[in-house]
């Protein structure tokens, strides 16, 4: 297959014209490109996150901050609170940094090279924005495209070593025209038809071109054995006074940086937590919550105690009836639910 052979892109784009997913950040097939702000925002949110999880966050963000200039002017704490629950919180900090850079320069850069200079924008995201927002020919490879292409060409090297070959193969079938539609068509094919398990080969517009179809499609891409994630231990402290809970603001850098949270014993800095409770008193265990991060899991015991008017350190008393508005990250939202359940 060569870049001049348009059999695959023609078949795929014809399928996409009939079956494209309707997503709030997309333009319809063949329509003018969407606002680069919406493309960039969606791509940042979709990093390691599902479309279903992203939709409500995208709609909330664009309703609150309808332009990159509006987002650039937003307070960091408001952005972090709006992001709460979406995970990978460094994305939110980089989102705000990038918005301020784009607003300062008067708009988004159009080239992949310039887009890669924005905080939080890597090779894939830069290629996706260049293709979808600016119609540039770019080789866009996400997990869905990786799966489609590894099956089309039966690339049997294990990941991550296979990624170089997958990218090269994707380059051979990427057309110069309708670059954004082609990138999104590949993503849709991977998410709807060429799925991880039980791919629907009979419905696939590229079935006649697919080498893996006569083998075992589910074998591709070849993945290395999973490594067990280490488990950390820690404690979170639930301190209540007059129908309000004591919340702190985590340090701006590091794990869950800049987020409101319950006080804890320092587990994120040292692995297992060893810090003492923030004040003396009779602490009662409310149970343990578990949560998975990218490289480890945490078992967090929730300890409860009554607070007083002389709390150590900086924090704020947050009304329990408005706790859902605090923007707690998922781990601490779980801890709060555990504490409230008694």
**In sequence order, what are the beta bridge partners of 316?**
247
Q: Which CB contacts under 8 angstroms, 24+ apart, belong to 94-101?
A: 94/44, 94/119, 94/120, 95/41, 95/44, 95/71, 95/119, 95/120, 96/71, 96/72, 98/40, 98/44, 99/68, 99/71, 99/72, 100/72
Q: Which CB contacts under 8 angstroms, 24+ apart, belong to 126-132?
A: 127/183, 128/39, 128/43, 128/183, 129/36, 129/39, 129/40, 129/43, 130/179, 131/179, 131/180, 131/182, 131/183, 132/33, 132/34, 132/39, 132/179, 132/180, 132/183, 132/184
Q: How buried is 6 (Cβ within 10 angstroms: 0-12 exposed, 13-18 middle, 19+ buried)?
A: middle
Tell me whether residue 325 is one of the annotated catalytic residues: no
Catalytic residue among 43, 112, 146, 301: 43
- Kindly list the catalytic residues: 43
């Amino acid at each position: 297959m060569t870049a001049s052979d348009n059999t695959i892109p023609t078949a795929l784009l014809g399928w996409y014209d009939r079956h494209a997913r309707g997503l709030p950040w997309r333009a319809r097939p063949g329509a003018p490109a969407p606002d680069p702000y919406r493309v960039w925002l969606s791509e940042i949110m979709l990093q390691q996150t599902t479309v279903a999880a992203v939709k409500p966050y995208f709609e909330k963000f664009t309703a609150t901050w309808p332009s990159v200039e509006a987002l650039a002017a937003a307070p960091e704490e408001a952005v972090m609170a709006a992001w709460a629950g979406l995970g990978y919180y460094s994305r939110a900090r980089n989102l705000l940094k990038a918005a301020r850079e784009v607003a300062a320069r008067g708009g988004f850069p159009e080239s992949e090279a310039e887009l890669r200079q924005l905080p939080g924008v890597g090779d894939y995201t830069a290629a996706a924005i260049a293709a979808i927002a600016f119609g540039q020919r770019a080789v866009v490879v996400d997990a869905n495209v990786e799966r489609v292409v590894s099956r089309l060409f039966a690339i049997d090297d294990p990941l991550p070593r296979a990624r170089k070959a997958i990218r090269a193969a994707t380059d051979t079938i990427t057309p110069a025209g309708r670059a954004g539609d082609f990138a999104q068509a590949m993503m849709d094919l991977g998410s709807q038809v060429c799925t991880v398990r039980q791919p629907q080969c009979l419905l696939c517009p590229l079935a006649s071109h697919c080498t893996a179809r006569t083998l075992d499609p589910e074998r591709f891409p070849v993945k290395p054995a999973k490594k067990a994630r280490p488990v950390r231990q820690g404690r979170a402290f639930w301190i209540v006074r007059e129908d309000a809970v004591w919340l702190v603001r985590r340090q701006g850098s590091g794990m869950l940086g800049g987020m409101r949270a319950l006080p804890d014993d320092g587990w994120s800095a040292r692995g297992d937590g060893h810090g003492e409770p923030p004040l003396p008193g009779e602490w009662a265990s409310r149970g343990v919550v578990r949560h998975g991060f990218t490289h480890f899991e945490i078992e967090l015991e929730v300890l409860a105690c009554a607070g007083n008017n002389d709390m150590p350190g900086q924090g704020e008393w947050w009304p329990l009836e408005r706790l859902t508005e605090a923007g707690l990250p998922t781990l601490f939202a779980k801890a709060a639910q555990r504490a409230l359940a008694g």
